[in-house]
Structure 1
Amino acid sequence: MIQTIDFHVPELEMMKVYPKTLYYLGKIELLKRPKISIVGTRHPINYTKIYTQELARKLSLAGVCIVSGGAQGVDALAHQAAGVSNTIMVAGTGLDVRYPAIHQKLIAEIEKEGLVLSQFEAGQPSLKWNFPLRNELIVALGDALIVTQADLKSGTMHSIEFALKMQKPIYVLPHHLGESEGTNWLLSQGLATPIYDIEAFVVQFGSADLIDETDDFLVYCDTHPFYHDAVAKFAEKVFEYECLGKIKVENGRIKRT
């Protein structure tokens, strides 16, 4: 059942206007946790997929809740890697609408195990002017903003504008020239900090004692590689993890179970 938050959320004082009403489905206690916002392109390259997931997963393991917008690409990768019980999705629609439709299953899981927030009452569709408000809320909730890939002319750059106005620290993945012109521009202007060491970055915001050792193969599986590519790179682990039931093969691609 859709409910309204009946307590003050201090992080939202940084917004231009504190939300008049904030609707939710899920576990509002996540708002009390340390939080990091992760956003980026809807069309990430493989490098971005791998490190978005590693960042989200390790931050989550370190006790940090991941905030994003449920969109295709970077947003969904961040929610999934954090685990649905440790993520906050901010919707750009009323909470009776699971948008985008391609992520209905993911959103339903977050509603049950994590937290979905919206400033829009039930029945509100996905109107284009809803999303800047959603982006402002995503940025406000996080102690910092991570942008893992962005084009110069993209909605992600609006989130960056909000972070700059709120004086939030902005972190980006280092990219080759031409791969992520938005984040490279931020670096050239001294407006963002590159993440070169994920473990060192994570311990700034969470507990290092909670972080498990990285399983490179499972991180690779989060990119849903083709079976034959995975066998070429990790032959022994593919067969071992299939036997253990840690991975499955669907339509020629490997996924975690």
Structure 2
Amino acid sequence: MLLVNIDGYASSESKLPWMSWSDWGWKATVASMADILASGGRPKAIACSIGVSRLEYAYEIASGIGEVSSWANIQVLKCDTNRSHGDNWIDVAVLGYTLKPIPRSGARPGDLLVQVGPIGYGFLSDLALKGLIDIRDYPRVLEYTRRPKIQLDIGPRLGECSIRASIDNSDGWIATLYQLSLSSRVKIVVEKTIIIEEALDVASRIGVSEYKVLESWEDYNLALAVPPQNTDCILEYCKRYDIRCDIIGRVELGSRVYYKDLELKPIGWTWVD
């Protein structure tokens, strides 16, 4: 089955201050690829359209997209260029293929919630944007937010492990879990979360609660609803590739998202007010 995903961004809202234009092209492409992986697919090709106010931006953005294609060993089919008299923008479409598509709407009461990959990069980016930290003090975070890298063959593994529902985290971890809850019409109960050490250390130092870290965006980690008998399949995959992965909660009858006994508000990153 053919999978297609498209994501679009304006540079004024999505290009972080420490990103080059080629970084921005890389990030936008990986973000679109993450949706293909979450759907159980393997990315196969890229197409894009960009609007720029200066010609050199087009070359740099195209360079970033080309570097992703080389890293992922997939083809760039076409990239359309346009002159923009206002904001610079980019749309990236990624084509993929799957034998077994994984929806967001498949979670069922009794499933276990598995987190694949940590959160916290977006949380620290948010603090940096607010001037509360210097992102350069956290080299690993700086590099990941500039050029995120995701596990490219995890998509087909989701189908092999009979994952019922899957979604990637781009807009915020809480918001992501709410999308899973709403799509599947279930209650999500989270007991713990995998968070990068840098985010935990900063949160503790500046007195920010763990709940605030849960808003972290553009981490591109996955939330999976997994039948209990199939959890070993995905956990063993994570162990083989040294991916931080764990059972963090469960799916129940009901609605909304809870962290232990506290109902969470669907707060996350948004491109519009």
Question: Fold-level match, TM-score > 0.5?
Answer: no
More strand by proportion, 1 or 2?
2
Q: Which has the higher contact order (CA 8 A, sep 6+)?
A: 2
Q: As a proportion of its length, which structure holds more helix?
A: 1
TM-score when normalising by structure 2: 0.26
TM-score, length-scaled by structure 1:
0.27
